[in-house]
């Protein structure tokens, strides 16, 4: 386990020293989600403590904490085309090689899961207590509704017959709404075996804009 000072060093190396970066071929620096810039007053409903990403000036690299998701577009994963790189000097500030290695492993795992597991480096947090009430329904039902929206779009686009069966877990990135990452079990045809699926969507604050489905795919399709 990391010591408290290592956790502090972990955050500092991410946001200040830039111990690692997410790089793309063009290497143009991005900022935080343009569709999620404002803070939400409903964060406590999800038992999350969101932190604002630091804004950065354009430079040859992309700091991981400032890695921007583009405007949502169906069947476009914002992680595509990016890779995680670590600064050779990132070891500074950690109490031991072991602590730094644990940090690298944790950060790599978070990035490779593309938001579907907790990733504090991108302010993506788990949705807890799925059976607790949220507004007029439970969090589980809310996620089911959003996942069903994504499945509906998938079925229309690919002429499939996937259906949502149950929610496994969910994560979110709060801001001026929710960017939702939902893992669920599905059937690809009536009576078929259960298959783990993933869905990603944006639910905007104020509900003036309807939720927007971003992607829906079998979990096994993650590159």
Q: Is residue 13 part of a domain?
A: no
73, 92, 115: which is the final residue of a domain? 115
What CATH number is associated with residue 165? 3.10.450.10
Total domain count for the chain? 2
The CB density around residue 41, as the number of other CB atoms within 10 Å, is 8
* Among the ranges given (27-31, 83-87, 137-141), the one the predictor scored with the smallest mean pLDDT: 27-31
Same domain membership, residue 139 and residue 167: yes
Q: Is the pTM of this model over 0.75?
A: no
pLDDT, mean of residues 136-150? 96
Side-chain half-sphere of 184: how many Cα atoms within 13 Å?
Answer: 29
Mean pLDDT, the chain, rounded, equals 74
Same domain membership, residue 139 and residue 65: no
Q: Is residue 195 part of a domain?
A: yes
Residue 82, helix vs strand vs coil:
coil
Q: How far apart are alpha carbons 169 and 159 in whole angstroms?
A: 26
Structural domain harbouring 74:
61-115
pLDDT number for residue 69: 57
Same domain membership, residue 212 and residue 147: yes
Q: Is residue 43 part of a domain?
A: no
């Amino acid at each position: 386990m990391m010591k408290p000072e290592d956790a502090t060093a972990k955050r500092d190396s991410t946001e200040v020293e830039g111990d690692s970066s997410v790089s793309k071929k063009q290497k143009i620096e991005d900022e935080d989600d343009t569709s999620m810039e404002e803070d939400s007053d409903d964060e406590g409903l999800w038992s999350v403590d969101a932190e604002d990403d630091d804004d950065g000036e354009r430079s040859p690299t992309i700091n991981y904490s400032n890695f921007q998701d583009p405007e949502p577009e169906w069947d476009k994963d914002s992680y595509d085309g990016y890779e995680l790189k670590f600064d050779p000097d990132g070891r500074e500030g950690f109490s031991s090689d072991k602590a730094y290695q644990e940090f690298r492993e944790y950060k790599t795992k978070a990035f490779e899961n593309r938001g579907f597991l907790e990733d504090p480096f991108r302010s993506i947090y788990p949705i807890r207590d799925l059976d607790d009430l949220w507004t007029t329904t439970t969090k589980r039902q809310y996620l089911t509704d959003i996942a069903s929206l994504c499945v509906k779009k998938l079925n229309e686009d690919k002429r499939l017959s996937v259906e949502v069966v149950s929610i496994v877990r969910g994560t979110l990135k709060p801001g001026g709404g929710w960017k939702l990452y939902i893992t669920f079990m599905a059937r690809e045809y009536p009576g078929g075996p259960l298959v783990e699926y993933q869905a990603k969507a944006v639910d905007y604050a104020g509900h003036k804009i309807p939720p927007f489905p971003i992607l829906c795919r079998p979990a096994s399709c993650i590159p």
